[in-house]
Amino acid sequence: MAGSGTAHLRDGDELLRVQDLTVTFPAGRRRVQAVSGVSFDVAVGETLGIVGESGCGKSSAARAIMQLPPPTSGSVRLAGLELTGLHGEGLRRTRRRLQMIFQDPISSLNPRRRVRDIVAEGPRIWGADASRVDEALHAVGLDPSTTAARRPHEFSGGQCQRISIARALALEPELIICDEPVSALDVSVQAQILNLLEDLKARYGLTLVFIAHDLAVIKNISDRVLVMYLGKTCELAPGEDLVARPAHPYTRTLLSSVPRGPLRLPPEEEPPESGEPPSPISPPTGCRFRTRCPRADGRCATEEPQMRPLAPGHWIACHHPTETPL
């Protein structure tokens, strides 16, 4: 059902290329630097995880990729098509190819509409086959005969997230951006929704960008994981590699704070007590993590580290990476 627009692309070909993505918001006379020069790509059939603590710019980056609103600057290419600068019909046609699933499934569904109408809205706008609605509901594990005529408030949070996923699937998107899709759900339901997304990805050859603040959630579902801190990228690696050999001091801090994980930082790597992130209105010079980093020195204050390869497929933006496993 999904991915028909990428018929000319094969698994592993580049589907999404984000270059130098920058998003700022007005804050009085200054600007919040929510996303500052972020670059990455996503291959057809891949799941890219994006992780970082609250406020690091994950949602702003996701919305900028969707052009909701477009980024302040930078480039977003979908299967080679530049999305920034598209308007009117061109932008509308492209929107169908990119879908987003949000953190709060209940408030993202119109409470006055029936499930059938919610899922059918996209195909209806596009003049697509209405039988896709039933297929999409079946695909997410909902029986259309008992669910299609009901309204969102009659469902649990997990079921509402299934309806959101069906709504996205019905449009046969090439890429789905999942913005913290399980954070608002009970732990037992989280696993069900994660399993469902994995099943759908395999069945329909979906490409996913999966955003979370919890590495524990993201590491199993992602082929590669991108770590963000205060609007910048810190580290990018295959999920297993990132967990086994986290090299950026921030990634190591994130991993050691996973509640269910056995990972512990050695004392010399513990961040200083005043470990709150600085404001994105006036981020630190040089490396943005330096004010919380136990390895920071003078160079980190003056020279911004750029993403560079550390090992095959493993990239890092740090002057002093730690190459020992946790």
Ligand X SMILES: Nc1ncnc2c1ncn2[C@@H]1O[C@H](COP(=O)(O)OP(=O)(O)OP(=O)(O)O)[C@@H](O)[C@H]1O
Distances 270 to 98, 140, 201, 257 between C-alpha atoms, Å:
40, 42, 38, 11
Amino acid identity, position 52: G
Contact yes or no for 214/184 (Cβ under 8 A): no
Phi, psi of 57 (to 5 degrees): 110, 10
48-56, 112-120, 128-136, 138-146 -> range binding ligand X (CB under 6 A)? 48-56
Number of residues that bind ligand X (CB under 6 A): 13
Q: How far is the CB of 292 from ligand X (least distance, A)?
A: 16
34 vs 196, beta carbon nearer ligand X:
34
Establish if 58 lies at the interface with ligand X (CB under 6 A).
yes
Establish if 32 lies at the interface with ligand X (CB under 6 A).
yes
Query: Which residues, 188 to 217, sit near ligand X by CB under 6 A?
Result: 213
Among 60, 222, 251, 253, contact with ligand X (rule: CB under 6 A): 60
Amino acid identity, position 57: G
Enter the DSSP assignment of 179. E
d(CA 237, CA 11): 19
Contact yes or no for 58/103 (Cβ under 8 A): no
d(CA 76, CA 16): 7
Contact yes or no for 316/310 (Cβ under 8 A): yes
Among 10, 11, 12, 54, contact with ligand X (rule: CB under 6 A): 54
49-57, 132-140, 145-153, 302-310 -> range binding ligand X (CB under 6 A)? 49-57
Torsion of CA 78, 82, 84, 86, to 10 degrees: -100
50-58, 73-81, 139-147, 148-156 -> range binding ligand X (CB under 6 A)? 50-58
38-46, 51-59, 286-294, 315-323 -> range binding ligand X (CB under 6 A)? 51-59
Among 55, 157, 278, 294, contact with ligand X (rule: CB under 6 A): 55
Establish if 147 lies at the interface with ligand X (CB under 6 A).
no
Neighbours of 297 (CB within 10 A): 11
45 vs 57, beta carbon nearer ligand X:
57
136 vs 182, beta carbon nearer ligand X:
182
What is the contact surface with ligand X in residues (CB under 6 A)? Answer: 25, 32, 34, 52, 54-60, 213, 280
